[in-house]
Every structure is written in structure tokens, then in C-alpha cells.
Amino acid sequence: MPTCSMKKRKKKNKRGLLPLVLAWGLLLPGNFVSAQIYLPKPAPEPSEYGKVILDNSKTGPGPVVFDHWLHRSMFTCRLCHVDIGFAMEAKATGITARTNREGFHCGACHDGKKLFEGNLIFAACSDTPNSNTNDQQCNRCHSLGKKGVRKYEYKRFTAKLPKGVYGVNWEAAEKSGAIKPADFLEGLSVGKPKMQNRQDLSVPTAYSWVHPVIFSHEKHSVWNGCELCHPEIFPTAPKDTIHFSMFANIEGRYCGACHGKVAFPLNNCQGCHPKAPLWAP
């Protein structure tokens, strides 16, 4: 009869199968690279995934903690990264308390005037940072290392949302209507007719034992539109002139610009290769 420790070892071995297979493939003749460098890193807990720490000064209320899981339940990626203009690279946006107060960056929504689902969105970066009331308000964003200051907690907030192999299945949540991410911000977004999506693409892989990628423009356009991906991440070019690879993805290019940082991690094989064996970190 298998013991508890034996069951744990079997489970661990199953979870470690993908890195072993990838390592074997990466070390085939012609792939003169280090498997240790190019294997996807284990993803953190879903509650920590996509967490961004903003720390632009050595004084003040402390670093800001931004949770993608909270904001993606309310807004599309396109709204924040295209209309509002948040960069997709660390320290490239230039967020400051002044720009927030002037209505840019976080202040585009957090101005103390806009409503979301009937609730007033609190203002970011008040002009009176020394009042006791404002200290509590500041801590809602400047929350690193502080307990009991955040309004929303991941487990409780996502309890009723559909789950997948890795945390919340955001695609299913949007499709079922469990969340309705806004894609328009009055006074900032430009209204435009919806474009017709291209059909799903089957992207072949370099190895016969790796199932092809099935890419859906429709699924991605719900969150990203067209502008977020084209032409900066995926340049417009003749077919077969741009070659995607797991190497590039792991380095943060192409699909890796989102997957592995905010969208479901690269370890979730079936997310891209739907016919692959079920595996996740």
C-alpha cells in the first residue's frame, strides 16, 4: 500500500515532468543554450501573480502594491495600457504623486469623482498627506508590509469566480458574465466601431512531440483590442518571416510580454497547447 510520502513524491514527479521534457528538448543538437536559463520559472501563488511594487522615493508613505487580479476584474488590459498609457515594462511609466493628482496614470480613475458600479472611486495622492484620515487612505495603495489596510483580499474576492488550472479562469469569468471589465473611460477613451476578428490560428511547433498552439484573436481582443499587441509586440510582417519560440517567450518577448507576468503563466501548457497533457506549477 503506498504511503503518504510516496503519494507526495508521485505528485511532485508529475509536476516536474514538463521541465524535464523541456530540458531534453532544449539540449538537443543545435540548441547550445542552458536549460536552466530557458526553463519557465515556477509561478508564484495566484494571489501574488502580477503583483507590481512601485517605489519611486525613499521617503513618504512607502511602496505602492498594485494587484493585477483586482483591476483586471474591473477593467480591460487595453483600457489601462493603451488609453491611460501604463507602460508594460517596469519603471517606464513615470508615475508620481503629482501626475496622479493631475489626472494621469492612477489618477485617471482615482480622482474622487468617478463612479464604478455605483461606488465612488477614492482619490489617489491627496494634497494633504499629513492628516490622519489621509494616512489611512494612503495605506490602501502604499500597503507593502502593512496589515489590515487593503479593502480586498484575493481568496475572498475571487471565491465565486470560476477557477482553472492556475487560479481564476479569467476568460471563463468574462464569458459567463461573472465579471464585466470596462473598456471605455469617459473623457479619455475614443469611441470606435468593433473590428471583425480573424479566425483562430494554428501555430506549428518545431518538434513533432509538442502539440501546436491554438491562438484565438477573439479571446485576446476582448481584453487587449488590437493596439496592445500590434505592432509593438507582434509586428505586422509577411507570414513565416517572424519566428516565435519558447526561448523568446521566456525572455518576455511575443507571448511572454503578458504570459509569465500577468496572463496565465507559461507553465500552464494547455492554455496555449490545448491538446497537451494537463500540467501546471
Residue 236 in any domain: the answer is no
For residue 134 the three cell numbers come to 489621509
Both 124 and 151 in one domain: the answer is: yes
Nearest to 76 by CA among 158, 170, 156, 164: 170
Residue 234 in any domain: the answer is no
The residue behind cell 512607502 is 62
pLDDT in tens, 151-193: 999 999 999 999 998 999 999 999 999 999 999 998 889 988 8
Residue 98 in any domain: the answer is yes
d(CA 195, CA 280): 34
pLDDT in tens, 241-266: 788 888 999 999 999 999 999 999 99
Both 30 and 62 in one domain: the answer is: no
- What does the DSSP assignment read for 106-134? GGGT-SSS-EETTEEPPPSS-S-TTSHHH
Residue 178 in any domain: the answer is no
Check which CATH number belongs to the domain holding 137 and give it.
3.90.10.10
Which of 118, 134, 157 is the endpoint of a domain? 157
The residue behind cell 477557477 is 163
Is residue 166 within 8 A of residue 46, CB to CB? The reply is yes
Quote the pLDDT of residue 61: 87
The whole-model pTM stands at: 0.80
**Total domains in the fold of the chain:** 2
pLDDT in tens, 93-124: 999 999 999 999 999 999 999 988 888 999 98
First to last CA, the chain: 27
Both 123 and 34 in one domain: the answer is: no
For residue 164 the three cell numbers come to 482553472
The tally of CA atoms less than 13 A away on the side-chain side of residue 31 is: 17
Both 70 and 131 in one domain: the answer is: yes
Strand duo 64-67 + 115-116: pairing: unpaired
Q: Which residues constitute the domain of residue 90?
A: 51-157
Residue 191 in any domain: the answer is no
Residue 208 in any domain: the answer is no
Say whether 264 sits in a helix, a strand or coil.
coil
Is residue 206 within 8 A of residue 245, CB to CB? The reply is yes
**Which of residues 48 and 193 earns the better pLDDT score?**
48
Residue 203 pLDDT greater than 70, yes or no = yes
| Nearby residues of 123 by Cβ (< 8 Å), 6 or more positions away | 107, 110, 111, 112, 113, 137
Residue 112 in any domain: the answer is yes
For 281, other C-beta atoms within 10 Å of its C-beta total: 18
pLDDT grade for 38, boundaries at 50, 70 and 90:
low
Residue 261 in any domain: the answer is no
Both 16 and 95 in one domain: the answer is: no
The tally of CA atoms less than 13 A away on the side-chain side of residue 185 is: 25
d(CA 131, CA 195): 49
The residue behind cell 483580499 is 153
